[in-house]
Structure 1
Amino acid sequence: MIELVFATNNAHKLAEVQAIVGGSFTLKSLADIACTDDIPETGVTFQENAQQKTDYLVSKYGLYCFGDDSGMEVDALDLAPGVYSARYSGTRDMEQNINLVLTNLGDTTNRTARFKTVISLYYNEQQYFFEGSIEGDIIAERRGVDGFGYDPIFIPKGYSETFAEMTAAQKNAISHRAIAVQKLADFLKEQG
């Protein structure tokens, strides 16, 4: 069985990804390899940030690994918060980040947005990238209690529930991360 380190200690993300890939390979978190370092994320694109994570783990541990960077792009906010999604308000407090998005949107009628994920994989001495995105709209008030991040204010196109109102299985079937992770899983299965 293929063993990969996922460059995260976010239990939500780890559980989401493991649910998508099932038993096709074993995921380890940063904690599982005793990595307590604060891996830099100084890129200006999702791809740069994802690659920084894998480059760091390869240089320090030499392990097969993957890292991702995800965020929400709001058209009326010139694609903000983008790569700064986790710290849009200057903090990692998602309530404050959501409040700032809603405040900045104000009464804007253009509420189109998307979640985007880029995964950087280091495997067999090669670097690979997988991308997923899902279009939707930002609503004016939070709905739902599941999920994390901006899930309570994002309704994917074709649905009436926010990501936070969906079950994990429903979200994992359509999310940006699910799309990118499925591409990753399909690639790894082809590798044998």
Structure 2
Amino acid sequence: MIRVVLATHNAHKVEELTRILGPALDGIELVAYEGPEPVEDGDTFEANALIKARAAAAFTGMPALADDSGISATALGGAPGIHSARFAGTRVDADNVAKLLQELGDERDRSAWFTCAAAFVVGDEEMVEVGVWPGTVLDEPVGGGGFGYDPVFKPEGLSVSAAELRPDEKNAISHRSRAFGQLMPRVRARLLE
């Protein structure tokens, strides 16, 4: 079994990613990251995902997986984007959702998308893949599942919010599953073949 550190302190993300990766983890054990959080000062999701993966790999000496993700609204010029987790200044999901809804106000163009950049670092090798999940921002939160902006995000082609999806439904189509779905074959090839 090859140990890989998952560079996040977000328990929701650890649970979700473990479910998403499922069989792709065969032969790989995900280990929680206990180290310091690096300063995420990149200007893209890809840059911030790599910052986290590099820091976890350096701190633990193990191969590291990380992601950076967020929501972007067309009417806000792509904001909150890489600032999604701290959009309201509190790192509290409900505050971030409230600020997004306040910023959008009565805006008619509610189109938005989630982006996830998934990064892997082992030694001096680095890999990054990006997944995008298009949809719209609802006028108010709906549903009790998920986390983050899920209650106000209606995925394209669906009639419910991401927070109304069962975890397995969300994990099959989300930005995170798209990014890691592209990355994991490369990770497995590097570590196991």
TM-score grouping bracket, smaller chain normalisation: over 0.9
SS of the equivalent of 1:188 reads helix
Counterpart for residue 28 of structure 1 = 31
Deviation at 1:86, TM superposition (A): 0.4
Q: Distance in 2 between matches of 1:28 and 1:51?
A: 18
Alignment match, 2:118: 119
Partner of residue 141, structure 2: 142
Distance 1:91 1:56, change over 3 A: same
Give secondary structure in 2 for the equivalent of 1:17: helix
Once the 2 structures are TM-superposed, how far is the Cα of residue 123 of structure 1 from its aligned partner? Answer: 2.6
Q: Is the counterpart of residue 156 in structure 1 residue 159 in structure 2? A: no
> Would you say the 8 A contact 2:116–2:175 is kept in 1?
yes
Q: State the 1:125 CA deviation.
A: 3.4
Kept after mapping to 1: 8 A contact 2:120/2:187: no
| Alignment match, 1:76 | 75
Instruction: Give, in whole Å, the separation in 2 of the partners of 1:133 and 1:45.
Output: 14
Percent identity of paired positions between Structure 1 and Structure 2: 37
Q: Which runs of 5+ in 1 are unaligned?
A: none
Alignment RMSD, CA only? 1.3
CA distance in 1, matches of 2:122, 2:183: 11
Render the CA deviation track for 1:93-128: whole Å, top value 9, x for unaligned: 111111111111111110000000001111353100
Q: Quote the Cα distance in structure 1 between the aligned partners of 2:8 and 2:66.
A: 7
TM-score, normalised to structure 1's length?
Answer: 0.93
3-state SS of paired residue (1:80): coil
State the one-letter code of the partner of 1:102.
Answer: L
In structure 1, what is the equivalent of residue 37 of structure 2? 38
> Secondary structure at the residue paired with 2:147?
coil
**Could you give the per-residue CA deviations for residues 35-59 of structure 1, whole angstroms, max 9, x where no partner exists?**
2x12211111111111111221233
Aligned equivalents of 1:59 and 1:189: distance in 2?
20
What are the ranges of 5 or more consecutive residues in structure 2 without an aligned counterpart? none
* Residues 9-44 of structure 1 deviation map (CA, whole Å, 9 limit, x = unaligned): 21111111111221422111113xxx2x12211111
Write the distance in 2 (CA, Å) between the matches of 1:7 and 1:122.
Answer: 11
Show the counterpart of 2:10. Answer: 10
d(CA) in 2 for partners of 1:17 and 1:58? 18
Alpha-carbon distance between aligned partners in 2 of 1:137 and 1:106, rounded to the nearest angstrom: 14
1:65 — aligned with what? 64
